[in-house]
Amino acid sequence: MSKLSELSAIVEYGKLREVEAAVEGALAEGNAPIDVLNIGLVDPINVLGEKFRLGEIFVPELLIASRCMKIGVEKVRPLLSSGDVKSLGKVICATVAGDMHDIGKNLVALLLGSAGFEVIDIGMDVEPESVVEALQENTDAQIIGLSALLTTTMYAMKDTIEALEEAGLRDRVKIMVGGAPVNQKFADQIGADGYATNATSAVDLAKKLVGISTSRS
């Protein structure tokens, strides 16, 4: 087996402690850094992402493999030119003000990350002004993802969107919303650009919002 295939297998099987050495091995074998990145690190994640979507693997298998990929990317990054590490887009994720239930947002953020998005996770109980600030700091962000679990806190999504409007930033980003009490009607009412029922659909939605076609109808 080539060192590149070995690396790919190590990422796929989530062997966190073996990734760095495997990246070194693949580079020492003479593989171009860009191939180490794409074939050794990113491809196995794409394979697992599809398997997860089909219900063939569990989410920790995908997420631990993603951790492997990140370790590997950090190792190989100094050898790459600036345009080599491609991202599908930058997403800011937040659980809105008053809400401390962030596992759903975490899951969306993790799956977006493993799908190839760059994710800026600004945490839970995030005030509208903080979302505005995050966007000001990340001017290249294309999407803001907002989450809420409670009927009492989901209106903070509306406040957040209004704060973005007041700051004159609303048109610069797409806004996607989700969470147990949220539905399409509510999303439309508050002027969000999209709603997803679960984390897997959220990834599809994010791809759609940045103009990438997905395999699923």
Partner 1 sequence: MDRSQYNNVQKCGSPLLFLTQEEMEQIHSSTLQILQEVGSDIQHKPAREMLEKAGCSVKGKRVFIPGGLVEWATRQAPSHIHVYDRDGDPAMDLGGRNAYYGTGSDCPTILDVNTGEHRSFTYKDMEDGAKIIDALPQLDFLMCCGLLYDFPSTSYEHQYAIMLRNSTKPQVVTAASRESISNITKMAIAVRGSLDELAKKPLFIMYNEPTSPLNHTFEAVDKLIYCAENQLPTNYSPCMMTGATGPITNAGGLVQANAECLAGLVIHQLARPGSPIVFGGAMYNMDLKCMQPTYCSPESIVNNIALAQIGRDLYHVPTWGFTGCSGGKVFDAQAMNESAQYIFAVGFAGVNLNHDVGFMNYGLTFSYEMLVASNETISQMRRVFDGVVLDRDHLALDIIKSVGPKGHYLSEEHTLKYNAEMWLPDLTDRGDLEQWQRAGGTTFEQRVKARTIDIIENYTPKPLTPEQDAEISEILKQADSAAEKK
Contacts with partner 1 by CB under 8 A lie at: 14, 16, 58-61, 63-64, 66-67, 102-103, 106-107, 110, 123-124, 197-198, 201
| Token duo for residue 49 | 């992402």
CB of residue 165 to partner 1, shortest distance in Å: 30
Nearest Cα residue to 211 out of 50, 46, 87, 89 = 89
Contacts of residue 79, defined as CB under 8 A and 6 or more positions apart, other chains included, come to 27, 33
Nearer to partner 1, 13 or 155 (CB): 13
CB of residue 149 to partner 1, shortest distance in Å: 14
CB of residue 217 to partner 1, shortest distance in Å: 10
Nearer to partner 1, 27 or 93 (CB): 93
Q: Give the integer Cα–Cα distance in Å for 103 and 58.
A: 16
Cα separations in angstroms, 63 against 16, 98, 160, 169: 11, 28, 29, 32
Nearer to partner 1, 138 or 197 (CB): 197
Nearer to partner 1, 4 or 65 (CB): 65
The answer to whether residues 109 and 119 touch, using CB atoms and an 8 Å cutoff, is yes
Nearer to partner 1, 142 or 195 (CB): 195
CB of residue 64 to partner 1, shortest distance in Å: 6
Nearest Cα residue to 68 out of 95, 40, 88 = 40
Q: For residue 184, how many C-alpha atoms fall within 13 Å in the half-sphere facing its CB?
A: 2
CB of residue 19 to partner 1, shortest distance in Å: 13
